[in-house]
Structure 1
């Protein structure tokens, strides 16, 4: 009798083990099937022109990229550069899969690397500004003759190229000094290190009150097509379509509107390459200015 009970117990244990094995095998097969059906999101590096400190940019761009990543089923990784020349060098090498770049950069690297515009801000034209210390009594650009002026970088479009071009056209001689970022321009001018400096309205308006209160806008440039969000040609057509759709759709929700507002952006709209033809007309003059300064 004892032997019969033991054998029955062994058979029962064997059956339980077999069932557990089958269940584990089924779970493994299901997990494999899910992994095949839902591949890991594609990782894309999203470069942002360093108009401000990297920490400031990451704080406002990070949540927007996270939202677009989730909706487009992609993994967008924020990146920038320590200064605008380094950002330009990385664009020239095609290091960014996607990039938020100024109009001059778009025209230049559309030709050199094949970056294609996805979106731009709706109802927005880009203007640069020249700021001076609030304590000065200067009322026009003539007061800047013979002065040393601060700019972010030679290739900073609205904050540097356009102001410099207009000063040259007016025969106002000046000495440019490139300090690396918009914030550095504002800080240097507010501290009296330079007579004036170039920036844009958005970064000026985002300044801490302690710095902004020491500055005033002396002059505003003509208007041009704004910055582009553009993709490198290695990014697939299907990914481009998904990205464009999700970027445009941000304005459809309160959360998306807040994310755009944090950047000082309006709604985004699909962009075409020829939207930047007005900048292409300007480029020859801007390039000649840079060459003259380099001599």
Structure 2
């Protein structure tokens, strides 16, 4: 809600409402649109994240709202345009695209998390190496998806392999398409694969994995006041000490959430990856 947050802030400043005090009912005047990267279907994302944001709403007194894009490219464009007040996004997009163009700044990340890309094939397929996929139909979730597209494509090029590129809407949909036999292989991240239903996951075999990257980043748009960011950050960091919140973290396959800063992603900035043009 690009304008909603700004209007609320202006009203509070003009009327003298103390929105950062202990009175949660007054803090409720702040609505935060929190964008989540579409690694899963919108329905699955909502099921996982809406309870988390409801918890954060209770703890901060703000109205924290779940939002996502219809696919990875759409979500990236929305982040560049500053559509969301806070975002959860992959580290490469954050460091090399979103941070420079729209100013979002990292404030938290998954505790002990890593982002690991994978190439998968059906378990009953004959493919054993990347080169076995020469000329085959391959599903990617988006042209700029770091661990699901850019890193696998770099690995294919390094092995002298070219594949027929097909783009679907999410990491999860790429895995589903391979499991159904629609494509010979697909790219996605290991966390998404591990969170799939066993009956689908068990139809797949991991052929290749990428060098681990830092986890996805929680970042705030520069229009969001620092006091608001600190309040949300504190509530997120405290979740693994609250039994009720631990269950919510488990639904995300998180052990916890820790503070993050922009420099945590400097190593990602050094990656030189080619984005498909066609």
Q: Same fold (TM over 0.5)?
A: yes
Matching of residue 257 in structure 1 with residue 226 in structure 2: no
Partner of 2:176: 187
How far is the alpha carbon of 1:197 from its aligned partner?
Answer: 0.3
Partner of 1:87: 75
How far is the alpha carbon of 1:59 from its aligned partner?
Answer: 0.7
3-state SS in 1 of match to 2:183? coil
Partner Cα separation in structure 2 for residue 103 and residue 35 of structure 1 = 35
Q: Within 5 Å, which residues of 2 pair with 1:118-197?
A: 118-197=107-186
Partner Cα separation in structure 2 for residue 45 and residue 155 of structure 1 = 24
Partner Cα separation in structure 2 for residue 229 and residue 170 of structure 1 = 34
Q: Over aligned residue pairs, what C-alpha RMSD do you find?
A: 1.7
Partner Cα separation in structure 2 for residue 164 and residue 72 of structure 1 = 42
Partner Cα separation in structure 1 for residue 182 and residue 18 of structure 2 = 59
Partner of 1:49: 37
Partner of 2:260: 271
Please tell me whether the aligned partners of residues 104 and 155 of structure 1 are also in contact (alpha carbons under 8 angstroms): no
Partner Cα separation in structure 2 for residue 158 and residue 166 of structure 1 = 11
Q: Within 5 Å, which residues of 2 pair with 1:19-30?
A: none
Mean CA deviation greater in 178-187 or 236-245: 178-187
Structure 2: give runs of 5+ residues left out of the alignment: 1-16
CA deviations over 1:14-37 (Å, ceiling 9, x no partner): xxxxxxxxxxxxxxxxxxxx9997
Partner of 1:208: 197
Please tell me whether the aligned partners of residues 41 and 173 of structure 2 are also in contact (alpha carbons under 8 angstroms): no
* Correspondent of 1:230 among 219, 224, 227: 219
What is the number of residues matched between the two proteins?
Answer: 256
Matching of residue 76 in structure 1 with residue 59 in structure 2: no
Larger Rg: 1
How far is the alpha carbon of 1:209 from its aligned partner?
Answer: 2.5
Please tell me whether the aligned partners of residues 131 and 160 of structure 2 are also in contact (alpha carbons under 8 angstroms): no
Q: Following TM superposition, where does structure 1 have runs of at least 4 consecutive aligned residues deviating by more than 3 angstroms? A: 34-38
Partner Cα separation in structure 2 for residue 257 and residue 101 of structure 1 = 22
For normalisation by structure 1, the TM-score amounts to: 0.83
For normalisation by structure 2, the TM-score amounts to: 0.88
Please tell me whether the aligned partners of residues 139 and 187 of structure 2 are also in contact (alpha carbons under 8 angstroms): yes
Mean CA deviation greater in 90-99 or 34-43: 34-43
How far is the alpha carbon of 1:241 from its aligned partner?
Answer: 0.8
